[in-house]
Chains A and B, each alone.
Chain A
């Protein structure tokens, strides 16, 4: 369903005009319902790959190659067409939920906006659905959360809100950009579990960006290891773990702290965090 060919991204220095290559001609594809993990150190171009898919790369950047989503050329999309693709087909879950929501607007506004303003659902219907969306991600006191401003909620709670917002449409592709990195350890597992559960329920395809190999292995069907803007290898978690093809992957495997040698299993969601 997603086909990325020779994706390049270059950013020009505003003073010298010198171009830096951030992505170096990466190709990968995604099947319907598949989860692909983009793993690598910070600065390896994982997040930039997501930004290219959404068309939110930094101003002045030059994108090359092609990105096709169900036959639509994303890189050629402009204006209203691009907006519709972002609203209907793609859903981003950003790293820091406190940054992702407008600090001066209530949570309800965030959810309703995604449905009503972005996708044209009548406002009243969107409002009616908002509480239900929150219940689906394990939030019980929906009234309070809907009426809260972002700074009044914890990172884990807010990330659930973002996930609820991402699930409010029927996106073709979920883009998760280090969705748990900004959260504390106990919340991380819960948020990953909810994300994983919702994705499987809806049969969504997902690109999961993380620096955590074990986490990616637990959540994804295939992993792509990135370094300095290039994809070094793509394979199943078992391939990457047991039969790494490059020296870098081997080093990456050796560098991770081995708390659970068998790989980390997602903790089931229990919604306890909703009462904090």
Chain B
């Protein structure tokens, strides 16, 4: 328990530091918000001053950061410079699509990545070669290309799945997001399947597994309790980093499939220099990354008593 608490404090510190980087980073980029607000028109210095005063752009940098941070802690990310909408409301309307897409992709990664990896490791021959080939393909094919191929094949030609929009209600969403989720998960499935295959193979040759076989433990139990369970240690880490990266790589897919998630919102906002929105999305991504890593580390402790007990001693 103490360990979890420590990790949460650490996560809060990471968020604090990244909030500063996110906030200041926006000011390092060329161009300033007031220039965007006047949209290239020539305006009198008085108008410019008024705008600067309205958005608090004349305050010292650290004061602006502090004010922003306090607002963020109260859940107020400010207003979009572009639409004048509340940023929290804007993100709230976009987040479900992205989270649904990422969760869908995560499930595919775990089920297909681990499943195919285990099958490839336990039955050699043609099936293994297919998985290894598919895995190489997954490494090599860029996400947007996979998206295009899926759209052309299953969307346009076969007409099985829609190629745009995110759907209403659960079943419709699943149907709409199937192709995007596959495209998004494809590279990660390839990585996870490959790592799983290697890890299971390695574990099969390990001393305790050979010993279990020599003790006459039934095959099914040797495979499940000893081989697969123990090989999940390295696999968990890989799955975690891949799932954590999903939110960040979702923007390509959201763009390709015209989904109104936070990925496409981020792309738009960066182009339009909509500071408040970009800052909010960046922070959400850091938070998601941190949380997923925390979950992975906790899982690690559940799987491996050596990790758990070492922590108990040090805590």
Contact = CB atoms under 8 A, between A and B. Distances in A.
A86 interface: yes
Contacts of A96: 207
Interface string B270-287: 000000000000000000
B303 A85 contact: no
B235 to A, nearest CB: 14
A99 B216 CA distance: 17
A217 B149 CA distance: 72
B309 A119 contact: no
Interface stretch (B42-50, B180-188, B223-231): B223-231
A149 B309 contact: yes
A113 B217 CA distance: 7
B306 A92 contact: no
Interface stretch (A6-14, A102-110, A206-214, A222-230): A102-110
A84 interface: yes
Contacts of B303: 104
Contact of A117 (B221, B230, B304): B221
A118 to B, nearest CB: 4
Interface in B182-235: 206-208, 210-219, 221, 225-226, 229-230
Given A94-B207, A99-B207, A104-B230, A151 B214 contact: no
* Chain B facing A: main interface SS: helix
A103 B309 CA distance: 12
Interface residues of A, number: 30
Contacts of A205: none
A54 B215 CA distance: 9
A96 B206 CA distance: 12
Interface string B289-315: 000000000000001111001000000
A87 B215 contact: yes
B300 to A, nearest CB: 11
Contact of B216 (A85, A100, A101): A85
A54 B212 CA distance: 12
A102 B223 CA distance: 12
B214 A117 contact: no
A113 B208 CA distance: 13
Nearest to A79: B219
Nearest to A82: B216
A185 interface: no
Given A102-B226, A149-B309, A56 B210 contact: yes
Closest 7 CB pairs of A and B: A87-B216, A99-B207, A86-B216, A118-B216, A100-B211, A149-B305, A102-B208
Interface of B: 206-208, 210-219, 221, 225-226, 229-230, 303-306, 309
